A and B are shown apart, each in its own frame.
Chain A
Amino acid sequence: MRDLSANGVSVGRKSAWRRLPLAVKIGGFIILLVLLGMVAGWLNPTDPNATGPNRLSPPSPQHLLGTDLLGRDLLARVLAGAQNALYVGVIAVGIGLSLGVLLGMLAGYFGGWIDSLLSFVLDSLYAFPALLLALLFAAVFNPGATSSMAAIGIAAVPAFARLARAGVLSVKAQPYVEAARALGMGSARIIARHVLPNILGPLVVQASLAFAASILAEAGLSYLGLGTQPPTASWGRMLREAQSYQELSVFPVLWPGLAIAFTVLGFNLLGDGLRDWLDPRRQSR
């Protein structure tokens, strides 16, 4: 029988859903809406980059969210921005997760000087201002989505590595790992079979929170002109462009900001909720 609960108490599927914290449900719902928005952006016949005669129009039946200075439809641009945000988030979190878990597990599993060296490097990276890293990346490579995703991903590595290392250290001390080794299992197999499944929960939580942070970071970098380059619609870039004429119309500034906040809220709620749910101290209730 499938066991969906974290603490080993057997519960059926339906009550597991009921037991999920409200935050997880709301967060999941918001993320679903963002995903739907992304799909809607693909299906939407309005080209997000097509300019039109109606400049700076307020929300109207033709342009539900209004238009910007060049007469581009803001709804189409906000939806296209969702594609961009999720794309950047997936890549950045992918980099942070894979590199972080790999390095953290190496450090925790092998210990000794490998651990000392990796921990030193990761701690230094943690203290290094993430934004300066992004600035340097933009200088070494050309500013753009790729360099910003790489910088955001690398800045996320230490948090994942820390979790993986701590998880490995606690799992490594378990009798079943000793038993596996006594049976002749190799390191790679022990890590894959016994260690990884046991640290999956905290990693999922961290991934969700890192996704939220990546979207905020990408918006910030695009706002500075170092992230996604025009004409691709990105929320940060839209804010950068709209700032210069915000006395004329508030809508080009309003929507991208709300879109960022909404998406980030979804991933934050999901991550926070899952963390509370997985926390053994909260299970006794």
Chain B
Amino acid sequence: MWPYLVRRFAVALATLWLASSLVFLALLIIPGDPASIILGFGADPERVAALQARLGLDKPPLERYVLWYAGALRGDLGESIRYSSPVRSEIARGLSVTLPLVLAALTLATLISVPLGILAARRAGSWLDVGISAGALLGIVLPSFWVGLMFIYLFIVQLDLPLPTSFPIEGWRDPQRALLALVLPILTVTLSRSALLVRMVRGSVLEVLNQDYVRTARSKGLSERAVLYKHALRNAALPVVTVLGLEFSQLLIAAVIVETVFGLPGLGSLSLTAISARDFPLVQGIVVVLAAFIVLANLVVDLLYAYLDPRVSYA
């Protein structure tokens, strides 16, 4: 187990290094000098040069690269150009909105879709299955931002529910308003993710229920409950866990669309501003933090695999 973890950790670090280096390269080839963009068209060349010096843009790329890494290793991701504050605190602020949103939505989506998917698979071909599958298809084809807009129209414009339409500036220091502001976004993301997961769970359970070992378990007289819980679900869980891991890391950024609908200052919105403002340190920091989350999610998925499937051993 331990050698495996050490190896995994090494791979994780290598991935992080690769991702950050690639983004560094990508930012180098982006047209447009950040200093001139910030100061606007036709700015005084002397002021541009001064800003370049302050941002460290006058140094050669290799030196900037080394300097950035020296800082990152100490946990210092540099200073945001646009916000003139540490990149780390901007990202932390974004995550304080996006993480609760994504985690709550994925948890809810799992709680909804696992029972529904199992139910649909066990009664495959029945009207119940057709109903559940049709509902899932509907959830997939409706664009999530449109669903969000419709929620706003229905719940806020028509029903006039007392939900805030933007995230409080004080953030979580106003916990009640922050929580209320997240209700509709969580509902929106939950709906679209549940739709995907229901199909996934249904397909996975259906596949497993056709396996020989399930037939064996049934023919040796086990109750349907025991067949389902002892033999089928554990195996069916494997692909579902993989998808959940992937969904989590994708959603941290994909949430930008729902964040835009509801005016949430999350990580997605932050990357949108960072990129349009050519805020290189911020972009770089976001990508590294994101890569770290992807690596972490993969690690958790791998460990869950070992737990769910005894054939997988990490010796």
Contact = CB atoms under 8 A, between A and B. Distances in A.
Contacts of B287: 132
B137 A246 contact: no
A64 interface: no
Tell me which of B145, B246, B298 has the highest count of chain A C-beta atoms within 10 A of its own C-beta.
B145
Interface stretch (B47-55, B177-185, B252-260): B252-260
A196 interface: no
B72 interface: no
B261 interface: yes
Contacts of A250: 153, 157
B141 A132 contact: no
B194 interface: no
Contacts of B137: 265, 268-269
A144 to B, nearest CB: 13
A219 B252 CA distance: 19
B15 to A, nearest CB: 8
Interface residues of B, number: 40
B27 to A, nearest CB: 8
A250 B150 CA distance: 9
B152 A246 contact: yes
A127 interface: yes
Contact of A239 (B141, B146, B246, B268): B146
Contact of B275 (A130, A138, A216, A257): A138
B67 interface: no
Given A136-B275, A250-B153, A220 B141 contact: no
Given A257-B143, A268-B140, A223 B257 contact: yes
Interface in B63-97: none
A178 to B, nearest CB: 32
A138 B257 CA distance: 15
A131 B149 contact: no
A253 B140 CA distance: 19
A139 interface: yes
B113 interface: no
Contacts of B276: 139
Interface residues of A, number: 33
B257 A246 contact: no
A220 B275 contact: no
A20 interface: no
A135 B157 CA distance: 32
A142 B276 CA distance: 10
B287 to A, nearest CB: 7
A264 interface: yes
Given A131-B253, A261-B141, A261-B142, A253 B30 contact: no
Contacts of A139: 30, 275-276, 278, 283
A260 interface: yes
A144 B184 CA distance: 30
B260 A224 contact: yes
Interface in B265-310: 268, 271-272, 275-276, 278, 283, 287, 290, 294, 298
A219 B149 contact: no
Interface string A200-243: 00000000000010001001100110000000000010010001
A265 B141 contact: yes
B26 interface: yes
A93 B150 CA distance: 29
Given A135-B271, A216-B143, A261-B143, A253 B149 contact: yes
Contact of A224 (B30, B249, B256): B256
Given A136-B26, A220-B143, A246 B275 contact: no
Nearest to A134: B253
B126 interface: no
A43 interface: no
Contacts of A256: 146
A216 B253 CA distance: 16
Contact of B272 (A129, A130, A135): A135
A1 interface: no
B260 A223 contact: yes
Nearest to A265: B141
Contacts of B141: 212, 260-262, 264-265, 268
Contacts of B23: 136
B94 to A, nearest CB: 14
21 contacts: A124-B18, A127-B246, A127-B298, A130-B254, A131-B268, A132-B253, A136-B23, A136-B275, A140-B29, A140-B30, A140-B31, A219-B143, A220-B145, A220-B257, A224-B256, A224-B257, A224-B260, A247-B157, A250-B157, A253-B146, A253-B149
8 closest A-B pairs (Cβ-Cβ)? A257-B146, A264-B141, A129-B253, A139-B275, A265-B141, A261-B141, A131-B253, A132-B253
